[in-house]
Amino acid sequence: MTAKPTGRTIEDFADAYRSGASVVEVIRHTLADLDHAPRGVLIGEPLHERALADAEALDGIDPSGLPLYGVPFVVKDNIDVAGTPTTAGCPGYAYEAADDAVVVALLCAAGAIVVGKTNLDQFATGLVGTRSPYGVPPNAIDPLLVPGGSSSGSAVAVALGLVPFSLGTDTAGSGRVPAALNGIVGVKPTLGRSSTVGIVPAMRRLDCPSVFAHTVTDAAMVADVIGRHDPQDPFTRGPQLPPVFRNAPIVGVPASWPAAVEISDEMQRWYGDAVQRLAELGCEIRAIDIAPLIEVGAKLYGSTLVAERSASVGSAVAAGIPGLNPVVATIITRGSAASAIDAYNAEYELIRLRAAAAPLWDGIDVLALPTTPLVATLQNLLDDPLLWNEKMGVLTTFVNLLDLATIVVPLDDSGRRVPAGLQLIAPAWQDGELARLARSFECGELAPPIQACTLVVVGAHLAGLPLHHQLTDRRATFVGAARTTADYRLYALPDTVPPKPGLLRVEAGTGVEIEVEVWSMGYAEFGSFVDGVPSPLVIGTVELSDGSTYNGFLCEPLAITGAADISDHGGWRPYIASLAAAPA
């Protein structure tokens, strides 16, 4: 039998298949590992029959069109897998799913193979991972600690190397807290980016499918696969194209910790090291007031908003179905006492708080926080289950209420894995930018964004010159310095303020190579930039010495009448330098 892939990433599995491993052999190895998974990770048995049938169907197929070809994954057991029970962590609630949840179907269509259902805090109500009659998954770093929830089994399965990725859900932090506590990557996408059809709701307006993986690249890839608008789901929405982060991203960090945030000395040290790492990447660190965010988050369980959980599964709880967790039942039952007037008043207060928090994003690109302010032990939960759950979620509960996207990357202590993660948070639809910054944190080098529109600049818009701000104001990204082909001449245009050159394409063999810079920006930003280009300058096609062509600055031929030909200087900068060096 072909050896099992030794790595833990999607690329490791691709390498195994390129080396001749069969999908059936690899999936058999995975199922064997799952058969011996620690108690509490799975609910029910691994999905042997379905997984092997799916593997047989893939063997011999060209994998080039399937980005997740033969990659096994598990899903939280509030997500439907056709022909298997969905329990939501409660035996009395179980039903057999007729169809795969939309997110599961999308992953399988991309070549992935579902191999099991994982444990969770019952009805996805909890951030600790201990509220389940199916046992408690062991924390992969320290068995004395809680595993985090509610997506406990999904996180632990990845952290233990049983599968390279898994699906969870996130309403208040359920896809982030267990990622942090088990030292893996967790993605909480923009609300409405992925379908929730086939997922047992917790709070439908705030529910997100989430992804766990060992690397940012893997987690982002899976999030992209499931990130599809679903006409069946009125809560999904079409993507937007927000601006990219600034060239030196501005990272918000707390100016001080609000009284509600009980951060441990250990977590403060780990977090401080992470902030220093961001600064070393080239990010600008800016202190901000996070108190309005914490106030928003407190409303999720501390107001009549909790009635939305009652609307989702309250009837099952009220019926006293078998296997109810008493803590979960208490929380969900509490919401049923809210009146419509109470609910509207809570919504009005939430709208006020959202408005108060919105200006925070004017001055920063991303917010960096610990995922949890401290780490809870299993004994802590036995002593006071409600209090410690609240402590664990104080830095996560505001995110979905404010329509923010998040990615969690593991933290370490001098190379030693610790039960903590850095939470990078940004407004909706910044998922790609968050993944870029998270990858940069992971590898130690800040990667530039690649934007949709590319522009060649030749004169006053060059870096450091008077009109360069028109690019940076639009968050344009530097692609690189270059030269044109030897088919251009450069002229100093008269009577322009500030002084500007004109680049003119000429007959082959009569020009010279001209120094230029290449910048990129978004569609909307490019449109607003071009709208402000004054005559006689125009935006046309500029050919570079490497044969590539881009939009760039040219001038109208009539504009060179009476203009000085400065081509022999080779560019606008050398020409400006020559003027400065000339005797008075």
Cβ atoms within 10 Å of 187's Cβ, excluding its own: 31
Query: Tokens 């920063």, residue?
Result: 364
**Residue 174 appears among annotated catalytic residues:** yes
**Residue 76 appears among annotated catalytic residues:** yes
For residue 270, give both structure tokens. Answer: 């780990």
Cβ atoms within 10 Å of 546's Cβ, excluding its own: 8
- Considering 76, 117, 299, 391, which one is annotated as catalytic? 76
Among 125, 104, 211, which residue's Cα sits nearest to residue 171? 125
Burial class (CB in 10 A: 0-12, 13-18, 19+), 534: exposed
Among 202, 39, 28, which residue's Cα sits nearest to residue 119? 39
For residue 440, give both structure tokens. Answer: 């940069």
- Report the alpha-carbon distance of residue 103 to residue 504 in Å, rounded: 53
- Considering 22, 132, 150, 567, which one is annotated as catalytic? 150
- Considering 151, 154, 166, 174, which one is annotated as catalytic? 174
Residue 543: which H helix or E strand, with range? strand 537-543
Asked if the peptide bond before residue 150 counts as cis, ω within 30 degrees of 0, the response is yes
Is 477:451 a contact under the CB 8 Å cutoff? yes
φ, ψ at 14 (rounded to 5°)? -60, -40
- Report the alpha-carbon distance of residue 18 to residue 41 in Å, rounded: 31
**Residue 150 appears among annotated catalytic residues:** yes
C-alpha distances in Å from residue 498, one per residue of 184, 463, 560, 583? 52, 15, 17, 22
Query: Tokens 């893996």, residue?
Result: 184
3-class secondary-structure state, position 451: coil
Q: What single DSSP character describes residue 9?
A: S
- Report the alpha-carbon distance of residue 3 to residue 8 in Å, rounded: 14
Catalytic residue positions, numbered: 76, 150, 174
